[in-house]
């Protein structure tokens, strides 16, 4: 039973992207940092913003890559290697097109599912990490995906996503202490 040592949020850097759907992973980690008083600072060595703190009795590092989504591996991979963090000790929070806003799922392993951030990480550390998938909904057509993920959600959808993230944060004690199956049962049962 591996406890979590690293929680990564995927997104794009810069204020113009801060409120866009693709940054759902950032939202999760930023709220987590706020909740536990963990200061996030620019970490130029690892092309990201990182912090370290005590979450429910565990020493956990937080990382937000600032490389842009499709280059997330350039931040996550060297960071995990330097701190000798194994894939099973990593949780990566990211937006998920194939789930509606308000749906949130925890899973371990699997492919990148077409997610550009994961696509840049999996080949380097393997797929054996945990993912917190935050539903953002699908625009219906492939050619609309880019505009969809890089735009803001209407407030009704944003509220659903915020509530789902809030629910996942309420299970963080299970997550960081390695009770992954229990966390999965409780997070995945969430109904918006």
- Closest to 78 (Cα-Cα) out of 91, 89, 65: 65
Active site (annotated) includes residue 22:
yes
Assess contact for 87 and 126: CB atoms under 8 A.
Answer: yes
Give the phi and the psi of residue 6 in degrees, each rounded to 5: -145, 130
Structure tokens at 64: 């937000």
DSSP 8-state class, residue 17: T
Marked catalytic residue, from 22, 94, 130, 148 = 22
Residue 100 is assigned to a ligand binding site = no
CB-based contacts of 154, cutoff 8 Å, min separation 6: none
CB-based contacts of 169, cutoff 8 Å, min separation 6: 28, 31, 32, 35
CB-based contacts of 149, cutoff 8 Å, min separation 6: 20, 21, 22, 95, 97, 136
Residue 185 is assigned to a ligand binding site = no
Measured distance CA(165)–CA(161) in Å, rounded: 6
Binding-site residues, in ranges, read 17, 68, 70, 116
Which residues form the catalytic set? 22
Binding-site residues for tRNA, in ranges, read 17, 68, 70, 116
């Amino acid at each position: 039973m591996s406890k979590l040592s690293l929680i990564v949020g995927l997104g794009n850097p810069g204020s113009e992207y801060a409120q866009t759907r693709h940054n759902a992973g950032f939202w999760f980690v930023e709220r987590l940092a706020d909740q536990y008083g963990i200061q996030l600072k620019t970490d130029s060595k690892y092309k990201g913003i990182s912090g370290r703190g005590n979450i429910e009795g565990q020493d956990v590092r937080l990382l937000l890559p600032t490389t842009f989504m499709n280059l997330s591996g350039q931040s996550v991979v060297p960071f995990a290697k330097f701190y000798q963090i194994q894939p099973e000790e990593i949780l990566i929070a990211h937006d998920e097109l194939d789930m509606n806003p308000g749906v949130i799922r925890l899973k371990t392993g699997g492919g990148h599912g077409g997610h550009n951030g994961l696509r840049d990480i999996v080949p380097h550390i393997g797929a054996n990490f945990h993912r917190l998938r935050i539903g953002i909904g699908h625009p219906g057509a492939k050619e609309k995906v880019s505009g969809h993920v890089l735009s803001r959600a209407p407030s009704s959808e944003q509220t659903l996503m915020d509530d789902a993230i809030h629910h996942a944060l309420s299970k963080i004690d299970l997550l960081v202490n390695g009770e992954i199956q229990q966390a999965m049962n409780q997070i995945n049962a969430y109904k918006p």
